[in-house]
Amino acid sequence: MVEADDQRQRLIRHAFRLEWLTVGWMAIEAAVAVASGIAARSITVIAFGLDSVIELASAGILIWRLSSELRFGCEVSEPAERIARRVAGGLLFALATYVVAAAGWSLWSGEGAAFSWPGLAVAILAIPIMLVLARRKRALADRLSSHALRADAAEAIACLWLSLVVVVGLIAQFFAGLWWIDAVTSLAIVFFLIREGREAWGTDEDD
């Protein structure tokens, strides 16, 4: 029993390190994407940056959840799990609503976005980083039986797909130069945001 508890504590500390790595990268990703998206008036890049802000908050909540278990045990961590997942899910649904509204306005007004080199660079870098983080978080989530950590891994996977959407959209914008590409690719992001939000919201018993 003591050995099992020690092993679980080691796994939790490993999860801590992953979450702090997530915090570090997401802070960079959010700052670059939001700033470059605003400068280029790009809904896709702004949405990508705001998703990074939500993942940054999610990582902070996971750090709190893991601290809760280390201090008080699994019984207290279960309410923390539910709070962590539902806060993240609600924020993702709110972001999806923003993207739909902003894309609709862009298409209605006929206003396009400028190309963003910093946005393209940070999206390309995010792809391998999110892949590694998602795999490690998923493996730890299974070993810890943590729904919150599993949802966080799903958010990393969604961020990977968001990165791909941003890269494809920006490359298409660069070569084709069509004003509506940014709005259309931002709507493609909505699918991943909703799926990510549903995964984060989840159900307490059936994951």
CA distances from 97 to 85, 186, 204 (A): 19, 11, 25
| Residue 96: CA count within 13 A, CB half-sphere | 18
Residue 193 backbone dihedrals phi, psi, to 5 degrees: -65, -45
The separation between CA 207 and the C-alpha centre of its own chain, rounded to angstroms, equals 19
CA distances from 34 to 26, 29, 159, 161 (A): 11, 8, 15, 18
Predicted confidence at residue 44, as pLDDT, reads 86
Name the residue type at position 60: G
Catalogue all structural domains in the chain, each as residue range(s) with its CATH number: 2-201 (1.20.1510)
pLDDT band at 32 (very low <50, low <70, confident <90, very high): very high
pLDDT tens for 173-185 read 888 887 788 888 8
More confident residue, 28 or 87: 28
pTM confidence score: 0.82
The SS3 call for residue 179 is coil
pLDDT tens for 68-123 read 777 776 655 567 667 767 877 888 888 888 888 888 888 887 777 788 999 999 99
pLDDT band at 195 (very low <50, low <70, confident <90, very high): confident
Predicted confidence at residue 3, as pLDDT, reads 58
Rounded to the nearest integer, the mean pLDDT of the chain is 83
